[in-house]
């Protein structure tokens, strides 16, 4: 791990590394990149080759985040890779801008991009003449926080639009299951607003990361124990883990003195 980060930031970076490695494992072992909306577009040639190459990028990039000497290279590889997948969501968003599930799907990818961008901005060490300098430092971290905040708004809204699906994920032993869908949705919208407008942004981001952590732990391990050979269940768990890790990376890199992220550096 890199010596320039705090203990909590190191833990968040470790989780993100494991998340990337898990997604790489999916591609290399099962020959797919995860959930259906992240599948390689049909117009892309050599789709199987691209899938396995993506697995190598994710597994290698995640592994590189574990070692200080490889962190800089890993962030330079993971950020453009994940950003490419996010940009591939734009045609669907433009074709159906009122379809909330597309925004939710893009939001999940945007959290991964935000986590990778934070690490790139903090660790990639762009020189004075670098064309990527705009994406590094505080400016890059500000962009990542905006992406993260907008993702939370999409997540929260989906809880209200798709209340039934959200309720089905709430553990059966919890009382008032449908109420939890609305409560967590409202909490995510509030967290997104807090991060976007710097209203106790670090607390807002940490609470969101904690909420995602609770969701990941309450929903997917029991599902895995019930159907340990289910590839879709493992896929959902690994994606949830990666998204949660991305949220922790953002949360632990927000300073208590951060001003509004919409202001100039």
The mean-pLDDT minimum among 8-17, 57-66, 123-132 falls in 123-132
Number of domains making up the chain: 1
Q: Give the number of other Cβ atoms within 10 Å of residue 225's Cβ.
A: 9
Q: 16 with 115: CB under 8 angstroms?
A: yes
25-32, Cβ contacts within 8 angstroms, sequence gap of 24 or more: 25/55, 25/59, 25/238, 26/55, 26/234, 26/235, 26/238, 27/51, 27/52, 27/54, 27/55, 27/58, 27/59, 28/52, 28/55, 28/56, 28/59, 30/231, 30/235
Domain boundaries, position 200? 7-251
Least confident of 6-10, 54-58, 125-129: 125-129
Residue 59 forms part of a structural domain:
yes
Whether 60 maps to a domain, the answer reads yes
Q: Is residue 256 part of a domain?
A: no
Is 209 among the domain residues? yes
What is the residue-averaged pLDDT of the chain?
88
Q: Is there a contact between 209 and 247 (Cβ–Cβ < 8 Å)?
A: yes
Q: Give dist(CA 2, CA 155) in Å, integer.
A: 31
Give me the pLDDT at residue 111, please. 97
User: Whole-angstrom Cα distance, residue 256 to residue 254?
Assistant: 7
Which whole number is the average pLDDT over 220-247? Answer: 94
Name the pLDDT band for 171 (thresholds 50, 70, 90).
confident
In a domain, 24, yes or no: yes
At residue 177, the pLDDT reads 87
Nearest 10 degrees: CA dihedral of 152, 157, 84, 197?
-40
pLDDT tens, 189-225? 999 999 999 999 999 999 999 999 999 999 999 999 9
Residue 66: inside a domain, yes or no? yes
Instruction: Give the integer Cα–Cα distance in Å for 19 and 115.
Output: 11
What pLDDT shows up at residue 263?
A: 45
Cβ-contact 48, 31 below 8 angstroms: yes
The model's confidence at residue 71, banded by pLDDT at 50, 70 and 90, is very high
Per the domain annotation, does 89 fall within a domain?
A: yes
pLDDT one-digit tens code per residue, 106-148: 999 999 999 999 999 998 776 565 667 778 888 999 999 999 9
In order of 5, 222, 231, 246, the CA distances from 252 in angstroms are 10, 28, 31, 10
Q: Region of 74 please: left (phi>0), alpha (psi -120 to 50) or beta.
A: alpha
Whole-number Cα distances in Å, 46 to 24, 29, 52: 18, 18, 10
Q: Closest Cα partner for 26 from 249, 232, 240?
A: 232
Residue 52's alpha-carbon distances to 27, 43, 44, 241, in angstroms, are 6, 17, 14, 21
Chain-centroid distance of CA 140 in Å reads 16
Q: Considering the domain boundaries, does residue 262 fall inside one? A: no
């Amino acid at each position: 791990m890199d010596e320039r980060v705090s203990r909590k930031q190191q833990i968040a970076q470790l989780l993100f590394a494991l998340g990337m490695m898990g997604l790489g494992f999916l591609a290399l072992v099962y020959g797919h990149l995860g959930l259906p909306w992240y599948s390689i577009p049909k117009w892309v040639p050599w789709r199987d080759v691209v899938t396995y190459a993506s697995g190598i990028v994710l597994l290698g990039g995640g592994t590189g985040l574990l070692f200080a000497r490889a962190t800089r290279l890993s962030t330079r590889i993971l950020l453009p890779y994940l950003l490419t997948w996010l940009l591939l969501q734009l045609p669907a968003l433009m074709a159906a801008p009122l379809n909330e599930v597309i925004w939710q799907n893009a939001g999940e990818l945007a959290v991964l991009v935000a986590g990778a961008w934070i690490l790139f901005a903090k660790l990639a060490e762009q020189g004075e003449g670098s064309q990527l300098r705009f994406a590094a430092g505080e400016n890059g971290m500000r962009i990542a926080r905006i992406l993260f905040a907008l993702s939370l708004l999409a997540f929260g809204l989906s809880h209200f639009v798709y209340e039934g699906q959200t309720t089905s994920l709430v553990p059966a032993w919890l009382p008032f299951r449908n109420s939890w869908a609305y409560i967590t949705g409202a909490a995510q919208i509030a967290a997104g607003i807090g991060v976007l407008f710097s209203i106790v942004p670090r607390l807002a981001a940490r609470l969101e990361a904690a909420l995602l952590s609770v969701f990941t732990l309450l929903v997917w391990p029991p599902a895995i124990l019930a159907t340990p050979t289910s590839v879709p269940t493992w896929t959902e768990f690994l994606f949830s883990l990666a998204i949660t890790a991305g949220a922790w990376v953002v949360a632990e890199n927000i300073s208590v003195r951060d001003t509004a992220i919409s202001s100039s550096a």
